[in-house]
Amino acid sequence: MSNNQYWNFSAGPSKLPQEVLQLAAQEMLDWHGSGQSVMEMSHRGPEFTQICDEAEDDLRVLLGIPEDYAVMFMQGGATAENAILPMNLIARNASNSADYVLTGIWSTKSYKEATRYGTVRIAAQSHQARQINNVEYAPWTWVPGFDSWQVNQNSSYLHFCSNETIGGVEIGSLPDMAALGAPSVPLVVDASSHFLSRPLDIRQTGMVYAGAQKNAGPAGVTVVILHRDLLGHALPYCPSAFDYVNVAKERSRFNTPPTYAIYIAGLVFKWLLKKGGLAAIEQENIAKAQALYAQLDSSEFYRNSIQPEYRSRMNVPFILHDDSLNSTFLEGAKAQRLLNLKGHKSVGGMRASIYNAMPLEGVMALIDYLKEFERTHG
Ligand SMILES: Cc1ncc(COP(=O)(O)O)c(C=O)c1O
C-alpha cells in the first residue's frame, strides 16, 4: 500500500521518509534473517546492539559529533528532558542556577519546569509586542537579538529553544558565549523540531536534545547529545534511569530503551546520509520554505507574521484574512489529500510543518491549493 498521494503536514508525530517506512515494512517480521522482528529482540543481544551502535555512529557522522560528547537515546520526550536536564546540570555550579531565553510556548515550558530544581533566571524574552523597523510584532513572533541576552557568568547553563514548533520561530545560529560575557556557561538547546534539518556545530554547545517525532523518527525516543565534562552533577533525587552518567556509560542501555523507535530513527539517519547529509537536506529545506513563504507573502489573503529573519523553515503558521473560512479551507485541503494543516489551538489559523521527509512536490501541492483557494474565495 502506498500513501504517496497524501501530503501530511502534521507538526509531530509527523511524516517519515517513504523509503524508511517501506524498508521497515520489509524488515518488520524478520530483521536481516535473524528470525525476529526488531520489536522482539533483546535490547542486549547482538542484533539490537548492532542497530543501536550503528544509529549512534550514523548520528555522529551526520552532525560531526566528537567522542568527548555522549550520545544518548532516552525516553519521556522533550517534556521529560525539560526536567531531566536541570536534575543533571543545574547543580554543576555552586549557584545552583540556570538562565533561560523565552521565545515562545516551548521555551516557556522548559523554563517553568526548571524552576522546580534551582534558581532560574530569564536572560531574554519576547513575551511582549515590539516594534522593529516600524513593524509591530506580537508576543512570541520575534526574537531578542543575541547581544541583548543577559547571561549570568555563574549560571550552570543557558537554555534556549532553537525552533518554536507552535510559534514558527527559528533561531538558526548559536550565540557566542564569550561575547555575552559568560564563556564558561554551556549552551543547552531544545532543537526538537528542526533537529537534523540543517548543520549544527555541536562543539559550540554543552547539550542538544530533541524529541525524535518531528524530524528524526517516531515518538518514543529523545536524542540527547551531551559534553562529557558536564556529567556527574545529578541531584541526589534524580532517578537512576535519568542520571546521564548511567545512560552514557551504558550507551543508552542502562535499562530497556525504546528499541523500535531507535531502529526507525537509525533508518532515518541512514536515509539522510544517503541524501548527502545535513548540508544537502538544508538546501532542500531552504527551497521548500522559500517557495511557501513567497506564496503566503504574495497577497493579503494569507499572512505569516513572524519577524522575517526568524521564520521557521520547518513550521509555517499562517492565518487566512477571514477566519470564518478556516473550516472550508481545511475541508478543501483534506479533499486534495493535504492533511493536518490546522494550527495549534493556542495560536489558531493554519500551520504547515514541512520537515525533512516532506518533498518539494508536497509543498508545491500545498501552494497550488493555496492559490486555488484564494482564487475561489478571495
Ligand atoms: C520544541 C519542542 N519542545 C518540546 C516538545 C515536547 O515534546 P514531547 O511532547 O515529546 O514531550 C515539543 C513538542 O511538540 C516541541 O515542539
> pTM higher than 0.85, yes or no?
yes
Non-local (6+) Cβ contacts of 36 within 8 A are: 30, 47
Catalytic positions, please?
106, 190, 214
Contact assessment for residue 174 and residue 205, using Cβ atoms and an 8 Å cutoff: yes
Ligand 1 atom 5: the closest Cα is on which residue? 78
Rounded Cα distance, 364 and 11, in Å: 18
pLDDT attached to residue 282: 98
- Closest ligand 1 atom to residue 165 Cα is 16
- Choosing among 3.40.640.10, 3.40.50.1820, 3.40.50.460, 3.40.50.2000, the CATH entry for 26-274 is 3.40.640.10
Rg, Å, the chain Cα set? 21
Q: Is the pLDDT of residue 175 over 90?
A: yes
Question: According to CATH, where is 3.90.1150.10 located in the chain?
Answer: 277-377
Q: Is the CB of 17 under 6 A from ligand 1?
A: no
In the chain, CATH 3.40.640.10 covers: 26-274
- All cell numbers assigned to 240: 537512576
Is pLDDT above 90 for 60? yes
Tell me the pLDDT tens digit for each residue of 117-144: 999 999 999 999 999 999 999 999 999 9
CA of 214 to the centre of ligand 1 (A): 9
- Helix pair angle (259-274, 46-63), 10° resolution: 40
CATH 1.10.645.10 applies to domain 277-377: no
Label residue 1 by pLDDT band (50, 70, 90).
very low
**Triad 312, 315, 320: Cα angle to 5°:** 105
Q: How does pLDDT run across 285-338, given as a tens digit for each residue?
A: 999 999 999 999 999 999 999 999 999 999 999 999 999 999 999 999 999 999
* Pocket lining: 252 vs ligand 1, CB cutoff 6 Å: no
CB-CB contact of 276 with 51 (8 Å): no
Distance CA 108, CA 93 (A): 23
Weakest-pLDDT range from 2-16, 85-99, 142-156, 355-369: 2-16
Mutational pocket test of ligand 1: of 170, 189, 193, the residue with most ligand atoms within 8 Å of the beta carbon: 193
Number of H helices, E strands in the chain: 9, 16
Q: Average pLDDT of 238-248?
A: 98
What is residue 123's DSSP assignment? E
Average pLDDT, the chain: 97
